[in-house]
Amino acid sequence: MINKAEKNITDVLSQIKDGATIMIGGFGTAGQPAELIDGLINLGVKDLVIINNNAGNGDHGLAKLLKTGAVRKIICSFPRQSDSWVFDELYHAGKIELELVPQGNLACRIQAAGMGLGAVYTPTGFGTLLAEGKETREIDGKHYVLEYPIKADFALIKASRGDRWGNLVYRKSARNFGPIMAMAADVTIAQVSETVELGALDPEHIITPGIFVQHVVQIQPASTESASAELSNTATTATA
């Protein structure tokens, strides 16, 4: 019987070792698997390569992980914002390496890994410093840059509901990078607010099929105050 539902975060995360490459879902704090990140911090692993849309907010979640010094390199599209002081301090001190990738290219390269593509040509970045040293090509009169897939050993993502087969549905904008990261990692660990019985999820609403998920960990829903804060942050990010 297939049962990917797990009860202990520590047991699930214990397979992550020093030097691992980890994708972490989230657009800012919306859809960020905060409890899985806390579990990763408690694990004490180091020399990590993290792939995320940004480089953390404030002193919690991803920023909290960076602050421990466990991250050797971060690949992201939006490292600098008003509350990214943890990353700023580490970067200016030469304690973390940054690979800056435009957001569309980041998504495209993750998708390429998930779909088994060898590489993709994208117009984004052509003629800029981001294209230096990379192969370029003119196709139908337009210039493109060759970009290679981004894959990971693990993906830590957050969904709204899941079943024991690993099928997932998301809540609104918390969906963001989760679905494509799940496809591009060797092992995907999803935290969910609710685990439901098989058949309870409408097949038409399932965004991430269980074939891409190895573990599902149910986390008690955040308080109303925390949920409101997340929605407020999402709205602010979108407006910005």
Mean pLDDT of 115-134: 95
Q: How far is CA 219 from the centre of its chain?
A: 18
Q: What distance in Å separates the CA atoms of residue 79 and residue 89, rounded to the nearest whole number?
A: 12
| Model confidence at 154: pLDDT above 60 | yes
* Cα 109 to Cα 98: distance, rounded to the nearest angstrom: 17
Measured CA to CA, the distance from residue 129 to residue 127 in angstroms comes to 7
Whole-number pLDDT of residue 28: 86
173 vs 239: which has the higher pLDDT = 173
pTM for the full model? 0.88
pLDDT in tens, 96-121: 999 999 999 999 999 999 999 999 99
Which band of pLDDT confidence, cut at 50, 70 and 90, is reported for residue 84? confident
Q: Tens of pLDDT along 46-73?
A: 999 999 999 988 899 999 999 999 999 9
CA–CA dist 32, 157 (Å, integer): 7
User: Considering the chain, what is the average pLDDT of its residues?
Assistant: 91
